[in-house]
Amino acid sequence: MSRHQRGVRPQSPAMKDEPFARNITPPVARTAPPPQQSRIGTVDSGILSQRCFADERDAIRYVEAVAWPDGPVCPHCGTVGKYYDLSNTRLGLKKCAACRKQFTVRIGTIFQSSPIPLYKWLQAIYLVHAGDGLNAHQLHRTLEVTYKTAWHMVRKLRALTVAH
């Protein structure tokens, strides 16, 4: 097998200083593609940086303040303000002093029995209802949840909007 067949290029004395005899254009620096416009760009993203949108504990406090301005209300018996705070057991957990049943702010809402953190629900509510809204695929990419989860969230939020 000759040198040419093995892939080694024969060099003449004039070509020893040049990398190749043919014209080689220098590599062109690639520029980053222009950023795609996101639907979030049309929404005030400063709101999403608030603490209630970033932390589960703060999200629970925020929803409690909105849902119960006069203090916690037992969803089982309707007693207002008489409860034991069991937050050291589970975030937001309370026990009614009258009927002795446990409850959280999630009971009786779309958040009930949802494994999705409350702060992600708050982000979804804001994003779906702000501006033109988002579809499930955009929500899935934004909140970093599965598409199936995002689809269920959007479906629940839209059903709630139609009902009211």
CB atoms within 10 A of CB 29: 5
Is residue 20 in some structural domain? Answer: no
Is residue 32 in some structural domain? Answer: no
Mean pLDDT of 115-139: 87
Task: Let me know: does 75 contact 108? Beta carbons within 8 Å.
Answer: yes
Question: CB neighbours of 34 closer than 8 A, spacing ≥ 6?
Answer: none
Q: Specify whether 90 is located in the same domain as 137.
A: no
CB atoms within 10 A of CB 46: 7
Question: CB neighbours of 156 closer than 8 A, spacing ≥ 6?
Answer: 110
Per-residue pLDDT tens for 9-48? 555 555 555 554 455 555 555 555 444 444 444 445 566 6
Q: Specify whether 138 is located in the same domain as 58.
A: yes
4 pLDDT tier (thresholds 50, 70, 90): low
Out of 43-52, 124-133, 142-151, which region has the weakest mean confidence (pLDDT)? 43-52
Out of 47-61, 69-83, 100-114, which region has the weakest mean confidence (pLDDT)? 47-61
Is residue 144 in some structural domain? Answer: yes
Segments forming the whole domain that contains residue 93: 69-104
pTM of structure: 0.67
Is residue 23 in some structural domain? Answer: no
Whether the predicted pLDDT of 133 surpasses 60: yes
